Structures are given as structure tokens and as C-alpha cells.
Amino acid sequence: MKGSRFKLNQNHAPIHEALETFRRMRVVPFDVPGHKRGRGNPELTEFLGQKCVGVDVNSMKPLDNLCHPVSVIREAEELAADAFGAAHAFLMVGGTTSSVQTMVLTACKRGDEIILPRNVHRSVLNALVLCGAIPVYVNPEVDQRLGISLGMQREQVAKAIKEHPKAVAVLVNNPTYYGICSDLRAIVKMAHEAGMMCLVDEAHGTHFYFGGGLPVSAMEAGADMASVSMHKSGGSLTQSSLLLTGPDVHAGYVRQIINLTQTTSGSYLLMSSLDISRRNLAQRGRQIFHQVADMAEYAREEINAIGGYYAFGKELVNGNSVFDFDITKLSVHTLDIGLAGIEVYDILRDEYDIQIEFGDIGNILAYLSIGDRAQEVERLVSALAEIRRRFQTDGTGLLSQEYIDPQVVTSPQDAFYADKCSLPLRETEGMVCSEFVMCYPPGIPILAPGERITAEILDYIEYAKAKGCNMTGPEDPDILKLNVLTGR
């Protein structure tokens, strides 16, 4: 790729090529998986196709081993690192959840403090449950009109670092689900000057590495580690992800951390999809994401012209809590037509056969990426116009808040494993929660283990349930009860 920024031959896809060679060899399988290239499960083969099940294979010498790669997987990881500008890249088959947890477990041990915004994905807090680290929250500013949490303000991060000089890391969302970006370069600089690592949850920022005019990527900003959801905007299969590390991170130790929790039977379907998708982005990513950004900007203009909706964009940028905005994110505020975002989400699916990424209390997100076409964007815009005409109502009584400041009483690990009891929802006010409660997506906890349950939080949970949000987390699937700490 003459004249490109890449040092390696990005036209190469070593895992994919090794699987194609293996397919042609017609090896007799006396190993797992037990379906034996699909012969033992004809219904599965018919559903997925022979080409797919034929390469659903186990680790073997010609195909390398994800736990300790020395050949084709190692080469695929080197190509990924080169494509993303990282010192090292790890292929992850447990989703970006496993990437995020690896970052936290690499940086933190029991009792260590980690500075982070509270509007993190549950995978971050799950990692704190596992390792026993203590969260130091930089509570984000909230956009009062949109009801969404914004980025980390520089002065708030600096204050947290000053007040917690023994913290081991700062974790940043880049971007948030809604496309909001913090001043990542400044935060990295502050963390490093304080001797702390900077970890970046970049689940929704794969395209930052391949698009012109988009916010800075974690590796470009000098972050130590970044979790990248290739299956979101990068085009790989669901559950496949990358973990990127900078030059000052010990790759061997990171591999040990990964192997604590990641499967020893890595899916070659997932790994080959990462390999092929990385090649696709290296070859065509800049052109593709330019087109995606253009589609999103067009959709924003058209939706705002309908009236009643607010498809927000770079006008939110204020140089601090909204340092930058990901223009590929098509986030739309719906409350001004009298409908919660989740209600618009349901109408789009049930009435118009349009599945968007999520709806929350006040907003919807239509996820645009490499597979979208202009005609589908037009269909979405037309449907939103019809929804306003058919379903607009008085919005009196609608809630808008997406983020409620937590009252942290104890660490997530201590709360999760403490003695607990189950009480009816309204009887838990004032008590300390020992489990998660969240709307999924986006998977940002309303309550996390160790946090005080307030009347405001209970109102929010009941409202979200009534509006049809997909509520997850508690042991009680109906969320009529919550587990709380006894004696607190």
C-alpha cells in the first residue's frame, strides 16, 4: 500500500488465509467441535451454511492458539496493531466487555483507586467487582435539555487526580454512546504526569482510526490501553473485539490477564472476521467512514427540518465537557413531540420495520456504519416524519434525566459479596444496593453495587419500566424486588 501510513502489508489476512488452506486439505476430524464440520448437526449446517461450519474449528498447530499465539494469530495481531497505530493488539472473542475488563484488571489490584466517569458501561464496574478496586467518580455534567451525560471536564479530572494521588489509572469513554468526546489528549497528559495509566473505552470509536475529520483516537492521543468494538462500526462479527496497548504496557502481562477469563477455545469465525474486517478498514476505511459521516450529516439536517425532533451534532461542542463530537452518531432527542425515546424506538420497529440501536427516556440512536445505504436513511427520516404526524402528543409529565449522581457507600466488590436480602422495590429506599440495575442498551447502570438507593432512583426505575425500557441486572427478572445489604 504505497504511500500509506502502514508499515506492514495490510492486504494480508493470515487467519483467513490459513482457514482457506485448511478447508482445501480435507483433514479428517478426530477433535472438537463435535459437529465434525457440520456433519453431526445438519440443521445447524443448513442454517449457517457449509462454508461457515466447515471452518468452525479448534486450535491446532497450522491455525495457532489464541492463548499463546506464535504464527497466524500472532501475525494477525501485528497487522491489527499496525492498522490502529498501537504497540500491540489482542484479538478478543469475548466482546468488548472482555477487553474493558482486561484493561481494568491489568491496571488495578484490590484496594487500588481508579478515576472514571460514572456513566461507564457495566463491564467497567463488573471488573471492579472482580478485582476489588475502588472507583473515584468524576461525575459528568448533564445537558439539561437532552438529559444526557457529557464528557469529563479537564478541571474535574485534575481535581480527582490531586485529591487521589495514589490512584493507578484514569478511564475515559471515547466517545459516549451519544457521540460525546472528552479532551482525551489533555486527560492522557494529566494521568501520565501523575504516574497513572490512561485507559479508554473506545467501544463506539473504531472509525476514529480510519476517518478524516473525526475525533482523536485513543492511540493517537497517547493512551496506554483502548478497547475497540470492531463488531460495532468496524464490520466484524458480533462479540469480536480488539484490545490495543501503547508502548509502555507489558504485552506479556496483558496476555496473562486476558487468559484469566477468556475462553481457551477461541472461535475462528470471530477471529477471522476480525482479520478480514481489519484488512477492509485498512484498505477502504477512510473512504467508507467519510461516506458514513456524510449520511449522518444529511440525516441530521432532514430530521431537524421535520420539526419537533432535535438531531444533535457538533453545535454541542464547548471545548471542555463536549470537547468534540462524533458526527457519525445519529442521536435524536424526541421529548418535544411528547414521546420518550423508547416509545419512538418501539413504534419504528412495530409500525415501520426499522430497528434502531436504542431508545432511552429522551433520545434515540440510529447507528450508522459501513453497511448503511442512503435509501435506508431516507426511509428512517420518512418514518420519523410520519411518527410525528401520527403520534405527537402533549409531553407533560415526561422525565428527561439520563444520569443521576450516585451516593457511593462501599466498593462494588464488597457490596456484591456482602450479606444481603431481597426487598420490594419501594421498601429499599435509603438502603445500599448489592446488584446492578440498568437499561440495556446502552448498559450504563442506574444503580451499581455499593450505591445508596434514593427515591429519585426508584422513580426513574419505575418510569423506565413503564415506558418499556429493557431493564436488566437484578436477580429478580421482573425487577419488583432488589437485593440490598443487610444492616445498612
Q: pLDDT tens across 320-335, in order? A: 999 999 999 999 999 9
CB 14 within 8 A of CB 23: no
Q: How far is CA 33 from CA 36, 51, 55, 58, 68, in A?
A: 6, 15, 10, 7, 20
In this prediction, residue 67 carries a pLDDT of 96
Arithmetic mean of pLDDT, 66-85: 98
Distance CA 324, CA 151 (A): 9
Exposure class string for 83-101: b at 16+ Cβ within 10 A, else e:
bbbbebbbbbbbbbbbbbb
Mean pLDDT of 147-159: 94
- The predicted model gives 21-32 an average pLDDT of 90
Distances (CA, A) of 294 to 71, 77, 291, 327, 368: 40, 31, 5, 9, 10
The residue-averaged pLDDT of 129-156 equals: 92
pLDDT tens column, 327-358:
999 999 999 999 999 999 999 999 999 999 99
Quick one: how far is CA 370 from the chain centroid? 17
At 401 the pLDDT is 66
- Model confidence band, residue 46 (pLDDT cutoffs 50, 70, 90): very high
Name the more confident of 443 and 149.
Answer: 149
Mean pLDDT, to the nearest integer, of 371-400?
92
Convert the pLDDT of each residue in 408-437 to its tens digit.
899 999 999 999 999 999 999 999 999 999
The model carries a pTM of 0.94
Which residue in 420, 485, 412 sits closest to 110, CA to CA? 412
- CB neighbours of residue 450 within 10 Å: 27
Question: How confident is residue 471, by pLDDT bands cut at 50, 70 and 90?
Answer: confident
Please state which of the ranges 7-16, 80-89, 146-155 shows the lowest mean pLDDT: 146-155
Asked whether the predicted pLDDT for residue 44 surpasses 90, the reply is yes
Cβ atoms of 304 and 330 within 8 Å: the answer is no
β-strand partners of 116: 137
Mean pLDDT, residues 186-212 taken together = 96
Angle 195-162-112 from CA coordinates, rounded to 5°:
60
The pLDDT mean for the chain works out to 94
Give me the phi and psi of 421, to 5 degrees please: -140, 160
Nearest to 101 by CA among 117, 122, 85: 122
Residue 1 has pLDDT above 70, yes or no: no
CA-based end-to-end distance of the chain: 62
pLDDT of residue 374 exceeding 60: yes
- Nearest Cα neighbor of 286 from 201, 214, 375, 204 is 214
Percentage with pLDDT > 70 across the chain: 98
Q: Are 229 and 200 in contact, with CB atoms under 8 Å apart?
A: no
pLDDT at site 488: 64
Query: Which structural domains are found in the chain, ordered by start?
Result: 83-274 (3.40.640.10), 285-391 (3.90.1150.10), 412-485 (3.90.105.10)
